[in-house]
């Protein structure tokens, strides 16, 4: 409900970026059983392959001086999307990726620099970004308190 608010009240699409810069890695409910190609997405995860010609056109100007980078795949693929590339996910291709714990306050704070970069670079909404940071930070902080 809150994420939809950060999307001007509109339904959130698969693999979209909200005006607040928050990424939404949603997949269709029948994704794993489907044999269709998912198109109309705004970014792709890092395990995706690209045409060789796209590599030089994508924005890879991301500061990766941290031990772990955040959203570099989103920034690169969304820059291609903005240049007119049709991004898609083929459900016939299998990628193995380690599972991560759900977002906690510490990881959330580490992602803010990259989320702000997305807002600034792709001309998203600064007010929604601030509200998103405030809401998610409070939510994750309360979640941490309740779990402990």
The SS3 assignment for 54 reads helix
pLDDT over threshold 80, residue 146: yes
Instruction: Quote the pLDDT of residue 64.
Output: 46
68 contact partners, CB below 8 Å, separation of at least 6: 110
Going by the DSSP 8-state scheme, the letter that residue 19 receives in this structure is T
Task: Give the confidence band of 62 by pLDDT, cuts at 50, 70, 90.
Answer: low
Instruction: Quote the pLDDT of residue 50.
Output: 67
Name residue, tokens 């690209």: 50
The SS3 assignment for 134 reads helix
Q: Where are the domains of the chain?
A: 2-147
Name residue, tokens 């991560």: 100
Instruction: Quote the pLDDT of residue 15.
Output: 93
Q: What is the pLDDT of residues 66-111, one digit of tens each?
A: 545 678 889 889 999 999 999 988 877 777 666 666 788 888 998 9
Token readout for 83 is 């240049």
Mean pLDDT of the chain: 84
Q: Indicate the pTM of the whole model.
A: 0.81
């Amino acid at each position: 409900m809150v994420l939809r608010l950060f999307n001007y009240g509109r339904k959130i699409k698969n693999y979209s970026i909200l005006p607040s810069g928050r990424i939404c890695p949603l997949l269709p409910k029948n994704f794993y059983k489907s044999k269709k190609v998912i198109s109309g997405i705004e970014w792709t995860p890092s395990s995706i392959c690209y045409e060789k010609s796209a590599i030089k056109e994508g924005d890879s100007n991301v500061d990766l001086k941290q031990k772990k980078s955040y959203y570099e795949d989103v920034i690169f693929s969304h820059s291609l999307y903005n240049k007119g590339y049709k991004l898609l996910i083929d459900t016939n291709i299998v990628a193995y990726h380690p599972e991560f714990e759900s977002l906690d306050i510490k990881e959330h704070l580490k992602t803010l620099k990259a989320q702000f970069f997305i807002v600034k670079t792709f001309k998203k909404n600064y007010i929604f970004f601030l509200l998103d940071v405030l809401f998610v930070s409070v939510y994750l902080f309360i979640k941490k308190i309740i779990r402990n």
